[in-house]
Structure 1
Amino acid sequence: MSETRLPGVLVPAALAGFAASGGDLLAGDLVMRQGQVVGLAPATAEPSRIVMPRLADPHVHLDKCHTVGRIPHVGGDLMAAIAAQRQDRAGWTAQDIRARATRGLDELATAGCGAVRSHVDWGTVDDPAAVPLAWEVLGEVAEAYPLVLQRAALVSMPVMADAGHARRIAARVARDCGVLGCFVYDQPERAAGIANLFRLAQDFGLAVDVHVDEGLAPGLDGVERVADAALACGFNGPVLLGHACALMNRTGGDLARVIDKLARAGIAVAALPYTNLYLQGRADGTPDRRGLTRIHELRAGGVRVVLGADNVRDAFCPVGNHNPLATLALAAVAGHLDPPFGRWLGMISTEARLAMGLEAVTLAGAAVQGLICFEATTLADLLSAPPRAVPLGDLLERLAA
């Protein structure tokens, strides 16, 4: 049986998938047979690179990214960002969307992503249930990339609450193997909209992804409403909630009750540090509230928590990167995700894939094509200045030449 060895590698223990002794990073020679990893052998060279599965980003907006330079009024809260981006959207063309989405996908590929979910604002000016241009363009652009691109329909609550509109949208999303989602805040129609969301997701066999409670105002209850709806209908598809900032308003038994519901419903939560830190807690002067959701409490309560880049250089966040390692680094600072960093890597790899309804990939048994490597020797170095990801197959070909 053909065997290949890559000497002097470091493997994150949390992503290895095989038993081995060591700390955060396991050192050795990577052993591959028939193009698949079978384990680590004792090191025959000083470790010089980190090898891991391809990363995943479960929450981006490729339809909006890289528009900040042409939006005159960037800044303010969530509603100000929505208004500014809506104004820019009026001028979108297929060429414009394609150029920006391609740039975003190039960034994701360079960062080592193997799977990404992009939300797409649904509807047109004339028809709120019509397929948006960006949905079509992203479907075309994705064909040129060796990664999984999931498109998630981001539907406004009044439209999701309309049974006819919602069914039209769900049927099209199902046809395109997409994900059904909506924006839940404090809308009066949210009970009907959430009910329609889960009813249609059940009917069409769709995964669910909801922007929910993206704010710190008291009284936001979308997270609990979504959890209640999922439990009530026994929904068994993957559900991912993005933002959930208002969980910061809940403490003690109140918080524990909501977390228990999320855990029982199998609902995952995406923390989105770039956009939430930028938009939330705004007042006169320096903000004194973080916009993150309760990462530590959710994880302690058995809820899967993942990380996403969210908005990159648009009206919602004027800076950022389509790089999961950079997102994790920011989350580490903002959310006190202390070393050892290996315990958080699943939030941008194995756990993120599971939240997207995909199979988790560890090194054990992984195909060479599903692995990447970085010129780094500690996870602190990797997060502080993320180097370009090199596909492991490309490295092996280069070394064999």
Structure 2
Amino acid sequence: MAPLLLRGARLPDGDVRDVLLDPDSGLVARVAPPGLLPSAPGGLDLTGHLLLPAPAEPHAHLDKALTWDLAGAPPGDLPSAVAAWRAYAARVTEEDVFRRAGRTVDELCANGVTAVRTHVDLLTADGSYGDGDPLRGLRALLRLRERLRGRLRLQIAVLHVDAPDELLHRALDLGADLLGGCPHLSADPAASVERVLRVAADRGVGVDLHADETLDPGAEDLRLLARAVREGGFVPGVTASHCVSLGAVRPDEAARTAKEVAAVGIGVVTLPLTNLYLQGRGRPSSTPRGLTALRALLDAGVTVAAGGDNVRDPFNPVGRADPLETASLLVTAGHLSPDEALDAVTAGARAVLGLPAAGPYEGAVADLLAVRAQSVSEALGASCPERLVFAGGRLVSRTSVVRELY
């Protein structure tokens, strides 16, 4: 394919540059002041646009997406959401998952996402894994992954609570990329963590656990995971998602745990949209934010990513499948700077997914998002629906807006 020249784009540091993309290599070939690069047919004028690294979505639930109206509206706490989803899961079909997940991925792509890690339930109504076809959701997402090749990278993590080893191996044999789990829902969280790491090590795949999705300061999933990784010498990548309880402990304790997490290379994914919705409902006065200890983790050198988690399902009735919405919440509720928040949904998210760096820089992967904005704070604060999305140096999505005021 012919190189693609993006003219007059403003970079995150404020400089205006022309950026040459090479679709054959999928990399950014050149970055130069305007007018210095040879023009080519089919180039794009990005005057008035901010050119950013494309976001990645490090934590989605595509099999659950868009089921809020279908599954009923629970009161809004985590146990009620789990119960509502399990009841609905009894009648979920492979085609149902494929259709809803496809719609959600289209929303993610239009908003700038070029890589997604989704968790997928082993679909049973009661979690017993005994009857029915628990792998139908996984098969739907494997089909979707094939359809998305060239437009979006899709990683699939198997989400379960104490599923038999045999079922986990079947899921990996089908093509799942890594193992997930919810130790805090297990009868024996420590054994659950150790078993997932053992199976993952046997298969040479990574792990991404739902950890400490509670405001209880005594929750131990993250510490158990850090200790098990340290003692077992686990090599493939390890991610802990949620880690809400870390934000409920004393600052000195959060700092100690953060250092333990950094020492063993665990990445942490914070999920502000869903955790702000679900957590703290029993505390009507001085309601806690329900986020992990972001500053302690960053100060310790932990790779911190941020995701959207649920999109209009029993765990959260809202959500726009937009990483810039996620980043905006990290500014308002997590007290990060706009640049730190943007990093969590771009560089941090790609690092957790094990992907090379992307952005408008020579030699970087040409996964880019052009937003009609002049600064990072404007991009996060004003929603900015006009966007162009590039994956591997190719334009894969363009959203234009017509606004009429009378």
- Counterpart mapping for 1:192-341 below 5 A: 192-283=191-282, 285=284, 288-338=287-337, 341=338
Match of 1:389 among 387, 390, 397: 387
Task: Verify: 1:26 aligned to 2:46, yes or no.
Answer: no
Residues 217, 394 of structure 1: alpha-carbon distance in 2 compared, 3 angstrom cutoff: closer
Cα displacement string for residues 309-335 of structure 1 (whole angstroms, at most 9, x for unaligned residues): 001111111111211111111221111
Secondary structure in structure 1 of the residue aligned to 2:147: coil
Residues 174, 241 of structure 1: alpha-carbon distance in 2 compared, 3 angstrom cutoff: farther
Query: Unpaired segments of 5 or more residues in structure 2?
Result: 36-44, 399-406
Task: State how far apart, in whole Å, the 1-side matches of 2:374 and 2:11 are.
Answer: 10
Cα displacement string for residues 44-94 of structure 1 (whole angstroms, at most 9, x for unaligned residues): 599411223322001011111111112333223111111111112122122
Deviation at 1:32, TM superposition (A): 4.8
Task: State how far apart, in whole Å, the 2-side matches of 1:141 and 1:239 are.
Answer: 25
Residues 192, 33 of structure 1: alpha-carbon distance in 2 compared, 3 angstrom cutoff: closer
| Structure 2 length-normalised TM | 0.85
Task: Verify: 1:83 aligned to 2:83, yes or no.
Answer: yes
Task: Verify: 1:191 aligned to 2:180, yes or no.
Answer: no
Which residue matches 1:134?
Answer: 137
Deviation at 1:267, TM superposition (A): 0.2
Task: Verify: 1:154 aligned to 2:159, yes or no.
Answer: yes
Deviation at 1:243, TM superposition (A): 0.6
Which residue matches 1:17?
Answer: none
Residues 200, 31 of structure 1: alpha-carbon distance in 2 compared, 3 angstrom cutoff: same
> Which one has the bigger helix percentage?
1
Secondary structure in structure 2 of the residue aligned to 1:143: helix
Residues 38, 207 of structure 1: alpha-carbon distance in 2 compared, 3 angstrom cutoff: same
Deviation at 1:395, TM superposition (A): 9.6
Task: Check the 8 A contact 1:47/1:377 in 2, yes or no.
Answer: no
Task: Check the 8 A contact 2:4/2:21 in 1, yes or no.
Answer: yes
Task: Verify: 1:372 aligned to 2:377, yes or no.
Answer: no
Task: State how far apart, in whole Å, the 2-side matches of 1:259 and 1:234 are.
Answer: 18
- The one-letter amino acid paired with 1:140 is R
| Structure 1 length-normalised TM | 0.86
Cα displacement string for residues 191-234 of structure 1 (whole angstroms, at most 9, x for unaligned residues): 21111111111110011000011011242111100110011111
Task: State how far apart, in whole Å, the 1-side matches of 2:304 and 2:115 are.
Answer: 17
Which residue matches 1:40?
Answer: 31
Secondary structure in structure 1 of the residue aligned to 2:290: coil
Task: State how far apart, in whole Å, the 1-side matches of 2:397 and 2:356 are.
Answer: 25
- The one-letter amino acid paired with 2:82 is I
Residues 3, 122 of structure 1: alpha-carbon distance in 2 compared, 3 angstrom cutoff: closer
Task: Check the 8 A contact 2:3/2:20 in 1, yes or no.
Answer: yes
Task: Check the 8 A contact 1:373/1:389 in 2, yes or no.
Answer: yes
Deviation at 1:5, TM superposition (A): 4.4
- The one-letter amino acid paired with 1:243 is H
Cα displacement string for residues 233-285 of structure 1 (whole angstroms, at most 9, x for unaligned residues): 11121111111001123224322221111001100110000110001011264
Query: Unpaired segments of 5 or more residues in structure 1?
Result: 13-23, 160-164
Secondary structure in structure 2 of the residue aligned to 1:360: coil
Deviation at 1:112, TM superposition (A): 1.4
Which residue matches 2:403?
Answer: none
Task: State how far apart, in whole Å, the 1-side matches of 2:314 and 2:23 are.
Answer: 48
Residues 376, 251 of structure 1: alpha-carbon distance in 2 compared, 3 angstrom cutoff: same
Identity %: 33
Task: Check the 8 A contact 1:210/1:240 in 2, yes or no.
Answer: yes
- The one-letter amino acid paired with 2:388 is V
- The one-letter amino acid paired with 1:148 is R
Task: Check the 8 A contact 2:54/2:359 in 1, yes or no.
Answer: no
Task: State how far apart, in whole Å, the 2-side matches of 1:311 and 1:74 are.
Answer: 15
Task: State how far apart, in whole Å, the 1-side matches of 2:71 and 2:279 are.
Answer: 20
Secondary structure in structure 2 of the residue aligned to 1:144: helix
Task: State how far apart, in whole Å, the 1-side matches of 2:397 and 2:77 are.
Answer: 48
Task: Check the 8 A contact 1:56/1:116 in 2, yes or no.
Answer: yes
**Stretch deviating more after TM superposition (247-256 or 45-54):** 45-54
Secondary structure in structure 1 of the residue aligned to 2:235: coil
Task: Verify: 1:67 aligned to 2:67, yes or no.
Answer: yes
Deviation at 1:306, TM superposition (A): 0.5
Residues 359, 30 of structure 1: alpha-carbon distance in 2 compared, 3 angstrom cutoff: closer
Secondary structure in structure 2 of the residue aligned to 1:335: coil
Paired residues in the alignment total 376
- The one-letter amino acid paired with 2:73 is H
Which residue matches 1:19?
Answer: none
Secondary structure in structure 1 of the residue aligned to 2:15: strand
Residues 386, 46 of structure 1: alpha-carbon distance in 2 compared, 3 angstrom cutoff: closer
Task: State how far apart, in whole Å, the 1-side matches of 2:389 and 2:73 are.
Answer: 40
Residues 302, 27 of structure 1: alpha-carbon distance in 2 compared, 3 angstrom cutoff: same
- The one-letter amino acid paired with 1:314 is D
Which residue matches 1:107?
Answer: 107
Which residue matches 2:404?
Answer: none
Task: State how far apart, in whole Å, the 1-side matches of 2:359 and 2:332 are.
Answer: 26
Task: Check the 8 A contact 1:186/1:220 in 2, yes or no.
Answer: no
